[in-house]
Chain A
Amino acid sequence: AQKVTQAQTEISVVEKEDVTLDCVYETRDTTYYLFWYKQPPSGELVFLIRRNSFDEQNEISGRYSWNFQKSTSSFNFTITASQVVDSAVYFCALSEGTSGTYKYIFGTGTRLKVLA
Chain B
Amino acid sequence: DGGITQSPKYLFRKEGQNVTLSCEQNLNHDAMYWYRQDPGQGLRLIYYSQIVNDFQKGDIAEGYSVSREKKESFPLTVTSAQKNPTAFYLCASSISQAVNTEAFFGQGTRLTVV
Contact = CB atoms under 8 A, between A and B. Distances in A.
Given A91-B42, A106-B43, A108-B40, A101 B98 contact: yes
Interface residues of B, number: 27
Contact of B106 (A44, A97, A108, A109): A44
Given A91-B43, A107-B42, A108-B42, A33 B100 contact: yes
B1 interface: no
B30 to A, nearest CB: 12
B104 interface: yes
Interface in B59-110: 88, 90, 92, 94, 97-108, 110
Interface residues of A, number: 25
A97 B100 contact: yes
A53 to B, nearest CB: 10
B40 A95 contact: no
Contact of B100 (A6, A95, A109): A95
B45 interface: yes
B48 interface: yes
Interface of B: 33, 35, 40-43, 45, 48, 50, 58, 88, 90, 92, 94, 97-108, 110
